[in-house]
Amino acid sequence: MKLIPLFPQARIADRETRRRRLDALLPLLLMFCSSSVVLAQAPSDPPLAAGTREVTDRYLELTFNQQYDALLDLYTEDAVFFDPTGDVFKPDQPHEPTVGGARIVALQKSWGIESTDFDIDAAFTVGEYSLYRGTLNTRFRGSDRTIAIPLVMVLRVVNGRIVQRVDIGEYIESFGLGNRFDAATAETRAVADRYLRAYLDADLDAQRNELDASVRFQDQTAQLFGPPSGQLIEGADTLLKRRAITFANVSDFNLDVSDSFVSWHHAVYIGTTTYTVGSGASYAQPAVFVIEVRDGKVTRHWDFVDYTVR
C-alpha cells in the first residue's frame, strides 16, 4: 500500500499572524458561514492534523489487510459509512448510510473480498478529515479477475476514532454494469459541467438554473476553521445568498481539473482550486468537487479542499 506524506503544516504561534491569515481566508469561508459571523477576537489555533492522519493511515492498513475485527476498536459505536455512488449496485432500492461500527464491519465482511489494495495517487489531511484518492484493486472470492476502481475515500476522526467514512467510486465501467446507466450518466455530465462552470464564474443566475430548490451543499474540510464553517447549507435561495457574499470578495476562482469521472448520478472533479481574496492573497489548493444530479438538477454538492496549503 502506497501512502503519500502529509502536506507540511506549521502551528501558528503568533496571535497577529493567525488573525492576518484568517482575515485573508474569511471571504471564502463566508460561503460556509452565516453572514452575521464576526471575528471579534483572534481565533485559537486550528487543530493540527497529525493525530487524524495517524488514525486514518492505521485504518487503511487494517482495512486493506482485511483485519476487519480490529476495526471495531477504531470505529465509534455510531460511526457512519456512506458511498453515494454505490447506488448503482441496487438501483431500484433506497440507498442509505450504514450506521454503527459493528454493522459497518459486517458490511465490509459481506463484500466477499479475496484480496485488495489501494494504490494512492494523492492524499491530504485537514483537521478531523483525511482524503485519499487513487485506484482500488480488488479481487473477489471465486474470481480470477482484479477490478481496478477509481476511488476517493474521506475519513473523519474524532477523539482518535473513526466516526465517518465516505467512498466515492467509479463502479459502472469498472464492474462492467452495462449500458442501463448511460443516458443518466450523460445527463449528469452535461448538467454538472454547466453548473461547475457557473460556480467557478460566480454566475448566480446560471447556478440557479441548474440547482434543485432543495439542494444541499457542504465543505466539511472547512470545519478546520471552527463552527459554523463547514456546516451543511440547505436550499438554493440560502446557498446563493451565501455565495453572493463570497463572490463579492473572491476573484479568479477556478478548478484546474487533473482527473474526473461520472457514475450515474455523480460527477467527480479532481484537481487544484485557485482563487484570490480581497486582500490580494492568492491560493492554489488540492481539491475534490462532487456534484450529484437527479432529474436534471443539482441536488447535492460536496467540496473537499486542502486548506492547509497556504
Q: Mind listing the domains of the chain with CATH numbers?
A: 50-175 (3.10.450.50), 179-305 (3.10.450.50)
CB 292 within 8 A of CB 298: yes
CB 216 within 8 A of CB 299: yes
Retrieve residue 159's grid coordinates: 477523539
Record the pTM. 0.84
Give residue 172's pLDDT band: very low, low, confident or very high (50, 70, 90).
Answer: very high
More confident residue, 108 or 44: 108
Compute the average pLDDT of residues 53-74.
Answer: 97
CA distances from 91 to 85, 137, 170, 180, 263 (A): 10, 23, 15, 10, 12
CB 265 within 8 A of CB 236: no
Which segments within the chain are labelled E, that is strand? 75-82, 98-99, 113-126, 129-140, 146-158, 161-169, 211-218, 233-234, 250-263, 266-277, 282-294, 297-305
Look-up: residue for cell 456534484? 291
How far is 189 from 196, CA to CA, in rounded Å? 10
Look-up: residue for cell 495517487? 121
Give the pLDDT of residue 38.
29
How much is the mean pLDDT over the chain? 86
Pairing of strands 211-218, 297-305: parallel
Cβ atoms within 10 Å, residue 203: 13
Compute the average pLDDT of residues 242-255.
Answer: 92
More confident residue, 66 or 47: 66
- Quick check: 28 pLDDT over 80? no
Q: Which of 29, 57, 236, 33 is nearest to 153 (CA)?
A: 57
Retrieve residue 205's grid coordinates: 443566475
CB 130 within 8 A of CB 118: no
Retrieve residue 115's grid coordinates: 484480496
Give residue 226's pLDDT band: very low, low, confident or very high (50, 70, 90).
Answer: confident
